[in-house]
């Protein structure tokens, strides 16, 4: 397989940045997208050129580390895929691929396809935790949770914090990420003591980081590799406004 790659190159945050074009021959359809970039980088190193910088870690769609825009779509054209899950067999011989980093004010540029997503970590620290003493693993039936609530909590816990929602949103909003974190703990009894304060603290942290506001484009849900629902945004808004109207404390525990 022969490919033309147009890749964003930028030395650091102060560099203006530009696209560079590379030609790759004999790309195997069995390669993952990141393996294809590894091959490109090996060729660049052998030529004495700087390799393309991109984030990666587990390469199993678990860590949320990898991620950039491919032909205008976060994580590429396949639904519910991270870049590391994307395989070259889904492309055609002669394809022209444009690669660029997440574009958002709250994700400062680092280098090439890498941006600084530490804003997500600061939002998480602001309220994405529980104070309940968990100790050793309790018996599975010691705290009864309705099946529907347990499954809903797990659905929102699937968010891996990759940032595709922010990159695909015209406003650069992080509400899908924050909503998933708030809704996940909001469905569980262990998450009730801080539920009100969690909503206020995480929304405040999100605004402080400079993320945009949600205007219901739903592009975040469409590009989320884990299929996290925008229902989480509604639940975040509900908890936040209830907390603002009625103060801190427990918001009730039931949805």
Percent of the chain with pLDDT over 70: 95
- Of the pLDDT bands very low, low, confident and very high (cuts 50, 70, 90), residue 131 is confident
Report the pLDDT value the prediction gives residue 144, as an integer from 0 to 100: 83
Give this prediction's pTM.
Answer: 0.91
Give which of 105, 101, 63 is closest to 85, Cα–Cα. Answer: 63
Tens digit of each residue's pLDDT (9 = 90 or more) over 205-240: 999 999 999 999 999 999 999 999 999 999 999 999
pLDDT of 202 strictly over 50:
yes
Report the pLDDT value the prediction gives residue 239, as an integer from 0 to 100: 96
pLDDT of 86 strictly over 90:
yes
Number of alpha carbons in the 13 Å side-chain half-sphere of residue 230: 13
Tens digit of each residue's pLDDT (9 = 90 or more) over 159-182: 999 999 999 999 999 999 999 999
Mean pLDDT of the chain: 93
Q: What is the mean pLDDT of residues 235-247?
A: 92
Q: What is the mean pLDDT of residues 12-16?
A: 95
Biggest distance spanned by C-alpha atoms of the chain:
64
What pairs with residue 6 in β-bridges? 21, 98
**CATH numbers and ranges of domains, the chain:** 3-110 (3.10.20.30), 117-246 (1.10.1060.10)
Report the pLDDT value the prediction gives residue 132, as an integer from 0 to 100: 76
Measured distance between the N- and C-terminal CA atoms of the chain, rounded to whole angstroms: 52
């Amino acid at each position: 397989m022969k490919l033309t790659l147009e890749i964003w190159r930028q030395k650091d945050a102060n560099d203006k940045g530009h696209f560079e074009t590379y030609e790759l021959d004999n790309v195997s359809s069995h390669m993952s997208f990141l393996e294809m970039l590894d091959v490109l980088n090996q060729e660049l190193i052998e030529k004495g050129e700087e390799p393309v910088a991109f984030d990666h870690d587990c390469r199993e769609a678990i860590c949320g580390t990898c991620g950039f825009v491919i032909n205008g779509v976060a994580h590429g054209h396949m639904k519910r895929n991270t870049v590391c899950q994307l395989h070259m067999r889904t492309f055609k011989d002669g394809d022209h691929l444009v690669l660029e980093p997440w574009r958002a004010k709250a994700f400062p540029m680092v280098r090439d396809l890498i941006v600084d997503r530490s804003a997500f970590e600061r939002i998480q620290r602001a309220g994405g935790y529980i104070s309940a003493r968990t100790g050793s693993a309790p018996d599975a039936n010691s705290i009864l949770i309705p099946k529907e609530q347990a499954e809903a909590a797990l659905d929102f816990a699937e968010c891996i914090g990759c940032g595709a929602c922010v990159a695909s949103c015209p406003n650069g909003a992080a509400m899908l990420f924050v909503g998933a974190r708030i809704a996940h703990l909001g469905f569980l009894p262990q998450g009730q003591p801080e539920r009100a304060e969690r909503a206020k603290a995480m929304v405040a942290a999100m605004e402080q980081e400079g993320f945009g506001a949600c205007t219901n484009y739903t592009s975040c849900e469409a590009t989320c590799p884990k299929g996290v629902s925008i229902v989480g945004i509604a639940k975040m808004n509900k908890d936040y406004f209830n907390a603002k109207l009625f103060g801190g404390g427990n918001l009730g525990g039931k949805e």
